[in-house]
Amino acid sequence: MNSPDTRIDPTAESIRAASCADDYDPNSMPVDKARAFIDRFVAPVAETQRLPLRAALGHVLAEDIVSPFDVPLADNSAMDGYALRHAEVDGRDGVTLKVVGTAFAGRTYAGAIGPGECLRIMTGGVVPAGLDCVVPQEHTRPGDGVVTFGAGIRHAQNVRYAGEDMRRDAVVLRRGQWLRPAETGLLASLGIGEVTVFRRLRVAFFSTGDELVSIGGTLGEGQVYDSNRYTIHGMLTRMGIDLIDMGVVRDDPATLEAQFAQAARAADVVITSGGVSVGEADFIKQMLERLGEVVFWKIAMKPGRPLAYGKIGGAHFFGLPGNPVSVMVTFYQFVREPLWKMMGRDPLPLLPVFKATCTTALKKAPGRTEFQRGVLSASADGGWQVRPTGEQGSGILSSMVQANCFIVMPEAQGNVAPGALVEVQMLEGLI
Ligand code: AMP
Ligand code: MG
């Protein structure tokens, strides 16, 4: 465990002071303003670690990577064929050259190649200095120790030049880069077997509510299984985060306080679901005010109105609403980017957002941002069309299963007529 102030930027301003200084209404907080507020307090973790390449997959690079040599190292052939001097065939059809030897993949042909001569070469074979194009073998007529070429040969064709992928001493990956298979492959192509990455982020989470039953228990009337534990687990796991799953915590002040304190000691970030809505917030509010600095908002959005954000000890705290759809929507809109930022990712991944034709009418009241669950598909005219999944209640988790996108309706927007363009945010880009 780390001491709190090495985990999170210790210079950050007071959340409570900032929330008082800002000219917003905590009972109707615009989505963008809440996101900008949280962003001010979030910084990358300080600690880094050296990891072997395979283990580094899914981590964020904490150093710039400079290419130690040209990639490829030498000019080489992109085809199986013949390497020659372009000037010898220049536009003419039926030129015959003598074949003096062969360069296999990764090999250099040691001999000299004089006028009237060419070299048989395999893909990856080194193109000797002086030769400047490769003609694929299927465009030639081989003879006895000679080969005849057709017309239309271009200078430099099928030659892969030294350094055309990466130049020696060039920065080829930057600090902040999330390491995907392409990046680990590229590092391997430079012979780099170990890199410095930001350490993994630790997130503790629990569900609150007396009505919740864990899987394995039997549901009584009015009780529900704790599904948020699984959606939050899934969303965090897919980001490559270390989890501390604290299960269900009863709506009991002493137990909750102990769990909040323990979570904040163990993790960089604490996420809870439930307990921040109007009826429940009061005692939690008082408790969190004792434990740290937390602001409680009603976000001008649907679903997912209540949201709490703050610091408990050195840990960031996100108090998400309890409704299962609200949990996912608020996680994606308010938690995901701060987590990436704490993980060191720079630039932050953009959410693919684009316009699509809405095939049905949508009811929408101005004054709040709505995230309806939608199904996006190709339309007959070659564009994209979207329809809502159906019932949009914040407890209808099956809407998240059916959806492949959010239909995002900005604050000022009113009802949507069939055929109008709406903004769409892909779920695939979120996870
Ligand atoms: P709350 O925000 O605590 O008032 O909860 C709002 C609604 O979400 C209630 O109907 C809860 O039963 C439901 N809910 C809260 N937590 C969970 C959970 N972990 N899993 C499933 N439903 C939940
Ligand atoms: Mg509750």
The predicted structure's pLDDT at residue 138: 95
Q: Cα-flanking dihedrals φ and ψ of residue 116, to 5°?
A: 80, 10
User: Side chain identity at 18, as an amino acid letter?
Assistant: A
**C-beta 212 within 6 A of ligand 1:** yes
User: How far apart are the C-alpha atoms of 24 and 407, rounded to whole Å?
Assistant: 26
Q: Which CATH number fits domain 76-160: 2.170.190.11, 3.40.630.30, 3.40.50.2300, 2.30.29.30?
A: 2.170.190.11
pLDDT in tens, 386-431: 999 999 999 999 999 999 999 999 999 999 999 999 999 999 877 5
Domain ranges of the chain: 15-47+200-342, 76-160, 353-426
Q: How confident is the model at residue 1 (pLDDT cuts 50, 70, 90)?
A: very low
Centre of ligand 2 to C-alpha 324, Å, is 12
Place of tokens 């929408």: 364
**C-beta 277 within 6 A of ligand 1:** yes
**C-beta 323 within 6 A of ligand 1:** yes
The predicted structure's pLDDT at residue 352: 82
**C-beta 389 within 6 A of ligand 1:** no
* pTM of the complete model: 0.92
Q: Cα-flanking dihedrals φ and ψ of residue 258, to 5°?
A: -65, -40
Taking alpha carbons only, the member of 338, 391, 397 closest to residue 12 is 338
Return the SS3 of 430. coil
Residue 31 DSSP symbol: H
Answer yes or no: are the C-beta atoms of 429 and 395 closer than 8 Å: no
- Residue 115 burial by CB count (10 A; 0-12/13-18/19+): exposed, middle or buried? exposed
Residue 416 DSSP symbol: B
Answer yes or no: are the C-beta atoms of 12 and 309 closer than 8 Å: no
In CATH, what is the architecture of 15-47+200-342?
3-Layer(aba) Sandwich (3.40)
Centre of ligand 2 to C-alpha 295, Å, is 18
Q: How confident is the model at residue 12 (pLDDT cuts 50, 70, 90)?
A: low
Angle at 46 between CA 174 and CA 294, to 5 degrees: 120
**C-beta 310 within 6 A of ligand 1:** no
Instruction: Please give the average per-residue pLDDT across 146-160, as a whole number.
Output: 96
Instruction: Please give the average per-residue pLDDT across 232-250, as a whole number.
Output: 97
Residue 42 DSSP symbol: -
| Pairing relationship of beta strands 224-225 and 212-213 according to DSSP bridges | parallel
User: How far apart are the C-alpha atoms of 10 and 13, rounded to whole Å?
Assistant: 8
Handedness of CA 281, 284, 288, 290 (dihedral sign): positive
**C-beta 231 within 6 A of ligand 1:** no
**C-beta 140 within 6 A of ligand 1:** no
Ligand 1 probe mutation, 227, 230, 273, 276, most atoms within 8 A of CB? 273
Place of tokens 């699984």: 230
Q: How confident is the model at residue 3 (pLDDT cuts 50, 70, 90)?
A: very low
User: How far apart are the C-alpha atoms of 239 and 345, rounded to whole Å?
Assistant: 11
**Ligand 1 atom 5 nearest Cα:** 322
Residues ≥6 apart with Cβ < 8 Å to 337? 35, 39, 348
Cα 62 to chain centroid distance, Å, stands at 16
| pLDDT, mean over the chain | 94
The predicted structure's pLDDT at residue 350: 80
User: How far apart are the C-alpha atoms of 223 and 207, rounded to whole Å?
Assistant: 14
Residues around ion ligand 2, judged by CB within 5 A, are 209, 274-275, 322
**C-beta 226 within 6 A of ligand 1:** yes
Answer yes or no: are the C-beta atoms of 343 and 239 closer than 8 Å: yes
Ligand having the closest approach to the CA of 277: 1
CATH for 353-426 is: 2.40.340.10
Residue 91 or 384, more confident: 384
User: Are both 15-47+200-342 and 353-426 of the same fold?
Assistant: no
Answer yes or no: are the C-beta atoms of 145 and 99 closer than 8 Å: yes
Centre of ligand 1 to C-alpha 282, Å, is 17
Residue 304 or 6, more confident: 304
pLDDT in tens, 320-374: 999 999 999 999 999 999 999 999 999 998 888 899 999 999 999 999 999 999 9
Centre of ligand 1 to C-alpha 178, Å, is 34
Centre of ligand 2 to C-alpha 198, Å, is 35
pLDDT in tens, 13-41: 799 889 888 888 889 999 999 999 999 99
**Ligand 1 atom index nearest CA of 274:** 3
In the predicted model, is pLDDT for residue 6 greater than 60? no
**Ligand 1 atom index nearest CA of 226:** 20
The DSSP line for 138-159 is GGEEE-SSEEEE-S-PPTTTTE
The predicted structure's pLDDT at residue 5: 44
Instruction: Please give the average per-residue pLDDT across 244-263, as a whole number.
Output: 96
| Pairing relationship of beta strands 269-273 and 315-320 according to DSSP bridges | parallel
**Ligand 1 atom 8 nearest Cα:** 323
